[in-house]
């Protein structure tokens, strides 16, 4: 975390969270920010947590929301196998390569169930998060052991433009 950042919210757990409590806690911690930014961060927090629970056998989740005076930074991290970490990185790097029009087109194709390949697929929840943040996700990996890695996903939300 950058010295200029201020932690607004932090949650971690290895069990499925109570989503109502999680949403309420995030919303309460972001009460000083515009409602539009609170909605975006809640949506993306829940989407990333759901993806961890859907695609990971061992949910070990960390959510961190911080403010660096220009934007809100949402960090979601989880522990996973080396193989899955590699898949996640490839997957998100592919999504990050898409421009705004390509993201919107892929969103429509997903709605029409016309886009799914073994090489690359992405759900509309992740697409919506990218559209709402208007910046690429940053992905980093920290080794934990020979078999495990921690994957961190950072999303950035410019709240000054939402005022």
Could you tell me if 27 and 46 are in contact, meaning their C-beta atoms sit under 8 angstroms apart?
no
The domain made up of 18-157 has a fold known as Heat Shock Protein 90 (3.30.565)
Q: Model pTM?
A: 0.86
CA distance 138 to 163: 25
CA distance 21 to 63: 14
CA distance 38 to 53: 23
* Strand (E) or helix (H) holding 7: strand 6-13
Of 56, 60, 25, 61, the closest CA to residue 41 belongs to 25
Coil, strand, or helix at residue 115?
A: coil
CA distance 13 to 82: 20
In the chain, where the domains are located: 18-157
What is the residue-level pLDDT of the chain in tens, covering all 163 positions?
A: 444 579 999 999 887 778 888 889 999 999 999 999 999 999 999 999 888 887 777 778 999 999 987 899 999 999 888 888 888 888 888 889 999 999 999 888 888 877 665 555 678 888 899 998 878 899 999 999 998 899 999 999 987 655 4
């Amino acid at each position: 975390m950058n010295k200029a950042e201020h932690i607004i919210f932090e949650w971690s757990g290895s069990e499925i969270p109570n989503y109502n409590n999680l949403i309420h806690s995030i919303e309460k911690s972001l009460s000083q920010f515009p409602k539009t930014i609170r909605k975006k961060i809640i949506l993306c927090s829940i989407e990333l947590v759901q993806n961890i629970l859907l695609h990971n056998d061992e949910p070990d989740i960390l959510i961190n929301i911080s403010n660096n005076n220009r934007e809100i930074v949402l960090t979601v991290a989880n522990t996973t196998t080396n193989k899955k970490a590699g898949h996640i990185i490839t997957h998100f790097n592919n999504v990050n390569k898409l421009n705004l029009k390509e993201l919107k087109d892929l969103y429509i194709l997903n709605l029409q169930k016309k886009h799914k390949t073994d090489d690359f697929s992405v759900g509309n929840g992740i697409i919506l998060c990218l559209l709402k943040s208007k910046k690429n996700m940053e992905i980093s990996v920290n080794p934990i052991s020979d078999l495990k890695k921690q994957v961190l996903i950072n999303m950035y939300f410019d709240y000054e433009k939402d005022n």
